[in-house]
Amino acid sequence: MDKSERSGAFGHWVLQIGLKYGIYLLFLFIIVVLSITNPSFRTMANASNVLLQVTTYAVLGIGMTFVIMTGGIDVSIGGIMVCCGSVYTVLSQSGMPDSVSILAMFLAALLVGIVNGVSVAYLGMPAFLATLATQCMCRGMSLVLTGGASYRNLGPSFTFFGKTKLLNIPVQIWVIVLLFLAGYLILHKTVYGRKLIAVGGNLNAARVSGINDKMIICSAYIMMGVISGAAGYLTMSRLGSYYASMGDGIEFMVIAAVVIGGTSMVGGSGSMFGTLVGTLLIGVINNALNLFRVDAEWQNVAKGFIIFLAVLFDALKNHMKQAE
């Protein structure tokens, strides 16, 4: 092997390592740099604030990992959040018991998830267009129900999840830990998880092996719907209010977090731990932009750049796999 071949092989190896572990190294690098350059970043209060800010991203990232692992995508999640929130708000404001209002909220999330799942898995509709349509319908319905108004003074359960601490750690953070643990076990330690990965990795081979691919794909969207309802609930708990623009544009940052965390857009590979790291990375970047008082307009530019990098990262990984 001559010098140019050795150089090329070394470059290929470096690229592989970078694509495999780059997200973790980048996360640690940003943490170290921010800790040195901004003393406010390394306080416990700020760490808790970052974790609370990413709770919505984290919850949605769990469901989005399942959907993307099948080779699909769901852009309706922000619409489901606000629609379910409006269902709860209208019922609660009309005097319904809190438990009934919450149940109706999650039933609405389940219904939208079923519509998405059936549309994609059984009717063969393109996932992006099908979920975009349900997003528009959900946001429109939320405006119909609430008239675009904001509401405060939510039910007692919202106060509990939004304000209560356990071992001096907010309950919402404990909820995220439990949900990620459950997501990890389902995806990596169950027959269902193995079937889902098989469907995303090679649909034809999965069918030949007897896997009911339509059921698996449909269930992923149903799960995403219910999780979106939970994300809406946690968001309203944290803020103590409902507002009509809740979840606006959140789907793209969630998809970016999942893809940055290593889940392939073409399906079949990814991990819950990677999604967690991708979510925390985006949360830390958002926090840094706020600490350094970056204008809102430039924050949008930064978020767009993050999404671009996520797509580029996934494209490079897929190119490397094809080259092998």
**In CATH, 46-317 is 1.20.120:** no
Give the tokens for residue 273. 């731990």
Q: pTM of the predicted model, to two decimals?
A: 0.86
Give the chain's mean pLDDT.
84
Query: Would you mind telling me the total number of residues written for the chain in this entry?
Result: 324
Question: Which residue type, as a one-letter code, is found at position 21?
Answer: Y
Is residue 162 within 8 Å of 147, Cβ to Cβ? no
The H or E element spanning position 169 is strand 169-170
Is residue 135 within 8 Å of 81, Cβ to Cβ? no
- How far, rounded to the nearest angstrom, does the alpha carbon of residue 312 sit from its chain's CA centroid? 19
Question: Which residue type, as a one-letter code, is found at position 98?
Answer: D
Helix (H, G, I), strand (E, B) or coil at 165: strand
The 10 Å Cβ neighbour count of residue 191 is 7
The pLDDT tens digits for 147-168 are 888 888 776 777 777 777 878 7
pLDDT attached to residue 168: 79
Is residue 35 within 8 Å of 288, Cβ to Cβ? no
More confident residue, 6 or 218: 218
Helix (H, G, I), strand (E, B) or coil at 167: coil
Show me where the domains of the chain are located. Answer: 46-317
Question: Which residue type, as a one-letter code, is found at position 144?
Answer: V
Question: Which residue type, as a one-letter code, is found at position 27?
Answer: F
The pLDDT tens digits for 201-233 are 888 999 999 999 999 999 999 999 999 999 999
DSSP letters, 200-255, are HH-HHHHHHTT--HHHHHHHHHHHHHHHHHHHHHHHHHHHTEE-TTTTTTHHHHHH
Give the tokens for residue 86. 């409006």
Q: Which of 54, 180, 161, 56 is nearest to 102 (CA)?
A: 161
How far apart, in whole angstroms, are the C-alpha atoms of residue 250 and residue 85?
Answer: 15
The pLDDT tens digits for 31-81 are 888 888 888 877 878 887 888 888 889 999 999 999 999 999 999 999 999
Q: Could you tell me the end-to-end alpha-carbon distance of the chain, in angstroms, rounded to an integer?
A: 19
pLDDT attached to residue 133: 96
pLDDT tops 70 at residue 9: no
How far apart, in whole angstroms, are the C-alpha atoms of residue 116 and residue 76?
Answer: 9
* pLDDT-above-70 percentage for the chain: 89
Cα radius of gyration rounded to whole Å, the chain: 21
